[in-house]
Structures are given as structure tokens and as C-alpha cells.
Amino acid sequence: MDKTGKPVIQVKDLYKIYRVGDTKVRALNGVDFTIYKGEFCSIVGASGSGKSTLLNMLAGLEKPTKGEIVIAGEHMEKKTENQLVKFRREHIGFIFQSFNLMATMNAVENVALPLTFQGVKKAQRMKRAGALLDMVGLQKYKKHRPTQMSGGQQQRVGVARALVVEPEIVFADEPTGNLDSNTSEEVMRLMRRVVREKNQTLVMVTHDNYLAGFADRIFHIRDGKIVRIEDNTGRRDEAAGEGPQAQALPEKKEDGARGAAGNGGAD
């Protein structure tokens, strides 16, 4: 959003090469970018283009073959497993495609769970989890278990759980992959609103160009490379609207590394 703000994620010359038998798969093939505090960035590309690999690498869940990842001033690629666990717990929230809620726990208990790992006392946990559920519009569903909620409601719980620890950065991998299109849009707006309120940085991976358009900037990934970065902020401020402005307005062709790529990549 605010490109004069401080960089929170810096990726430099990043490679991830998997060896499968005799063949090498270049899942990430030289990636460079910077994401600034308060931005909502989407990474969009077809299946197999390297999105999950990139997100896993940013989150320190996998080690790069080569390159640097600096998050909140710290080099992820230099950390030990234990340091990474601690770093994630303190700085990062995750929203998963499959929601990953605990089936035996109700909504408020699910949202409170990450706070247990931070040693927050029970009364305080419940209070903070309850406030987050209010924020995502689930005030009436605090006692509901996952099976007693719709997919969209479950993902709202997922969003609340990711944000309850007030992470600087939120990563979401196909967060609406299991939701219908209307519910997906609602979850996009919700994520965008809540991270903006707290000036958090959101990085979302998706294969869906339309949903990617809800972000401030859209990174197009293809064969392990960022081939184009679209800036939506000007359009969003003009439109001052709710929707994915990239689609509402004509494509800018001249700023593209590959001209007519607008709707090309996704599967």
C-alpha cells in the first residue's frame, strides 16, 4: 500500500530446485521482489507455477536452494528449525485452504488456540478470541463447532484464528479454494478489511485472476518466475470501491513483461 513504508518481505535471487530421480524441477527460478508494510499482495499463477513453494519458503517451512528471504529484518534462510518455529509463532499468521479447524472445539476455542502456545491465560484468550469473532461477523456462532457452520463461516473462523496473535504478516494459500464464488468474495473483502484495520501485511496465493484482483498488487508467477507485477492501488483509490478493480477497468498492456497475459495464467 504505502510504498514509502518499510519493507517487510524482501526476496532476493530465490531458487528452489527439486531433484526427482534424474530430473530437476525448477519450482522457483530466480525470484526477486519486495513487499511493504500494510500491503495486500496476491501471487497468481496456474497450477504448478510455484505458488505454494514460494509461500512455504517465505514462511520458512522449506529451505531455498539459493537466495535470500528477509522478513521483518531477519534472514529466514539462516535460521534453525527451532528459531523458525519461534519466528512464525511471533510474526506470522496462516490461513489454509482446508480451514484446518479442530473438529472437537467450538469457534471461540479454535480461535483461542494459537494464544495457548504464547502462554496467554485462559480468560484473556477467550476475551481476545471473542473480539476477533465479533470482528469477522460471527458473534452468534462462538459456541458452534466446525460441522455446525457453513464453509464460509468456517473460513471466517480460520481468518480470526490467523489474526488473533496480531501477526505482522499473514500468509494465505488458496484460502477460498473450497468455497463457492460469492462466499469467496466475502472472505476476500473480510481479509482485506481486517488486515487494513491493523496495518498488517497479507500475502495470498491463488490460481484465480478475479480473486487476485482484490489485492493492492498482483504478482503473476509462471514457471517459477514473477513475470509481471500489477499495481492496483491507484485504481482502487479512484474507484474507492469494494471489488477487484483490476477487472473493472481495462488492462494496462504497456507495463507488462508479457503483454496479453491478463487472464492467461490460471487454470
**Which stretches of the chain bind ligand ADP, using CB under 6 A?**
18, 20, 25, 27, 45, 47-53
Stretch that binds Mg ion, among 48-56, 92-100, 181-189, 231-239 (CB under 5 A): 48-56
CB of 83 vs ligand ADP, minimal distance in Å? 23
Residue closer to ligand ADP by CB (options 55, 149) is 55
The β-bridge relationship of strands 40-44 and 201-206 is parallel
CB of 28 vs ligand ADP, minimal distance in Å? 8
Number of residues binding to Mg ion, judged by CB under 5 A: 1
Residue closer to ligand ADP by CB (options 58, 191) is 58
Residue closer to ligand ADP by CB (options 109, 230) is 230
**56 Cβ neighbours under 8 A, 6+ residues apart:** 62
User: Which of ligand ADP, Mg ion, none has residue 49 at its interface (CB below 5 to 8 Å by kind)?
Assistant: ligand ADP
Q: Which of residues 51-110 bind Mg ion (CB under 5 A)?
A: 52
DSSP H or E stretch at residue 209 = helix 209-212
User: Which of Mg ion, ligand ADP, none has residue 72 at its interface (CB below 5 to 8 Å by kind)?
Assistant: none
CB of 102 vs ligand ADP, minimal distance in Å? 25
CA pair distance 56, 58, nearest whole angstrom: 5
CB of 172 vs ligand ADP, minimal distance in Å? 13
- Residue corresponding to grid cell 487476485: 212
Residue closer to ligand ADP by CB (options 50, 146) is 50
Residue closer to ligand ADP by CB (options 138, 170) is 170
DSSP H or E stretch at residue 85 = helix 81-91
Residue closer to Mg ion by CB (options 46, 113) is 46
User: Which of Mg ion, ligand ADP, none has residue 103 at its interface (CB below 5 to 8 Å by kind)?
Assistant: none
**111 Cβ neighbours under 8 A, 6+ residues apart:** 129, 132, 133, 157, 160, 161, 164
Specify the length of the chain in residues: 267
Cα angle: 14, vertex 19, 20; to 5 degrees: 140
Write each residue from 6 to 45 as x if it is in contact with Mg ion (CB under 5 A), else as -, in one continuous string: ----------------------------------------
Amino acid, single-letter form, for residue 247: Q
**169 Cβ neighbours under 8 A, 6+ residues apart:** 8, 9, 71, 72, 91, 92, 93, 200, 201, 202, 203
What three-state secondary structure class fits 207? Answer: coil
Residues that bind Mg ion (CB under 5 A): 52
